[in-house]
């Protein structure tokens, strides 16, 4: 009998299969279905900083902060009505989700700057969230703000959230930091309980007929997993925080790779949008079959087995991989490069 159990943010989970933050969890019936199909935990879709500031009536004050990105994101506020719900409705949904299923429910706060809005984290805890995922999506477009300043702001935000709740806090990060390993250590030092790698960036597309720049959302493919595997494999055993992968997990093989890199959980969004919630059950079955065939007894046994710490040759994680990949291509296929 294969043991699929894992621990994430101090929560004991029946398997590593976790539903990433997505609007699919806005229906209680769907959350029940997720549990029935084998989800070990569900992260709810996000409450946004901009939404909370507006609701709290502190808009004028916060606008004077002069954060360009904040003012700019207000243009999108009407879309919140379509996307989600007000914070009271969110709390009510969280309570209902907790009552409906026995798996852990994680609330998600989505913001980029420290400020008064962070107090809503406490309300999420009081409404029963088992843990909090803090999505720190932001784009550093101001040439006057250095990378160090961006990181300082992020660390300050995490400190604020950690100080306002007693439940574990995971931080969902972007891959676009100068030194991901250094930032991970900084977040570790201020007590982040988990690091979720990585946010996907939704670049707007160009509509050349109407001369417009339009939002575009494409679901991921397994190719996007490689970046996450790489960084979790590098960070494994170098940070105290639990590691989680979101982005590009579609198949049972993807789930297994995620574990071998050193992640505690495999978070899925696109795969469930594309294949349906039942896909969770099929993934679980295939993971168990593969582990049985390969004589693995538990997830614990395979975790980190392909991390940088565990493999004898660490060059694939370094510049060596880059050189090898390019040079092997030119040697094998010289004619295609003419
Ligand atoms: C339609 C949709 C809505 C999403 N909404 C949120 C959100 O509210 N908060 C959040 O942190 N992530 C959100 N995400 C990102 C996912 O949680 C996930 O991190 C990302 O899609 C990568 O995983 P995937 O490759 O399995 O899709 C959303 C993704 C999709 C597809």
Query: Residue 83 — pLDDT band, cuts 50, 70, 90?
Result: very low
**Domain 6-307 is classified in which CATH homologous superfamily?**
Aldolase class I (3.20.20.70)
Q: Is 271 in the pocket of ligand 1 (CB under 6 A)?
A: yes
**Test site for ligand 1: of 21, 169, 199, most ligand atoms within 8 A of the Cβ:** 21
The structural domains of the chain, with segments of one domain joined by +, span 6-307, 311-338
Distance 61 CA to ligand 1 centre (A): 30
The two three-digit tokens of residue 98, written as one number? 């907790």
Helix (H) or strand (E) holding 170: strand 169-173
Question: What's the CA gap between 84 and 273, in Å, rounded?
Answer: 17
Residue 78 has pLDDT above 50, yes or no: no
Burial 219-235 (b: 16+ CB within 10 A, else e): ebeeebbeebbbbbbbb
Task: Render pLDDT for 239-293 as a digit per residue (tens, 0 to 9).
Answer: 999 999 999 999 999 999 999 999 999 999 999 999 999 999 999 999 999 999 9
Is the distance from the beta carbon of residue 136 to the nearest atom of ligand 1 less than 6 Å? no
**Per-residue model confidence (pLDDT) at position 227:** 96
pLDDT at position 66 is 45
313 falls in which pLDDT band (50, 70, 90)?
Answer: confident
* Residue from 17, 18, 19, 22 whose mutation best tests the ligand 1 pocket (most atoms within 8 A of CB): 22
């Amino acid at each position: 009998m294969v043991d699929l159990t894992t621990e994430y943010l101090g929560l004991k989970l029946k398997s590593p299969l976790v539903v990433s933050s997505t609007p699919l969890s806005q229906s209680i019936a769907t959350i029940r279905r997720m549990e029935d199909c084998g989800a070990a935990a569900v992260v709810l879709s996000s409450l946004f900083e901009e939404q909370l500031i507006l609701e709290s009536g502190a808009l004028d004050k916060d606008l004077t902060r002069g954060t360009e990105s904040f003012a700019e994101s207000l243009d999108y506020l009407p879309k919140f009505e379509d996307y989600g719900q007000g914070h009271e409705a969110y709390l009510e949904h969280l309570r209902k989700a907790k009552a409906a299923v026995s798996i852990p429910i994680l609330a998600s706060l989505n913001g980029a700057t420290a400020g008064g809005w962070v107090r809503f984290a406490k309300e999420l805890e009081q409404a029963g969230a088992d843990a909090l995922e803090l999505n720190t999506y932001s784009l550093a477009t101001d040439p006057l703000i250095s990378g160090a300043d961006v990181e300082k702001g992020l660390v300050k935000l995490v400190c604020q959230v950690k100080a306002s709740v007693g439940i574990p806090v995971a931080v969902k990060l972007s891959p676009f930091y100068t030194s991901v390993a250094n930032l991970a250590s900084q977040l570790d030092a201020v007590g982040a309980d988990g690091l979720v790698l990585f946010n996907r960036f939704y670049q707007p597309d160009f509509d050349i007929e109407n001369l417009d720049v339009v939002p575009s959302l494409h679901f991921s493919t397994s190719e996007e997993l490689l970046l996450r595997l790489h960084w979790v494999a590098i960070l494994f055993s170098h940070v105290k925080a639990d590691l989680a992968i979101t982005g590009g997990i579609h198949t049972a093989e993807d789930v297994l790779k995620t574990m071998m890199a050193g992640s505690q959980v495999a978070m899925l969004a696109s795969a469930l949008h594309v294949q349906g919630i039942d896909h969770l059950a099929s993934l679980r079955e295939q993971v168990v079959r593969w582990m049985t065939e390969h004589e693995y007894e538990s997830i614990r046994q395979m975790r980190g087995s392909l991390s940088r710490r565990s493999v004898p040759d660490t060059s694939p994680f370094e510049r060596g991989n880059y050189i090898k990949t390019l040079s092997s291509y030119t040697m094998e296929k010289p004619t295609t490069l003419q």
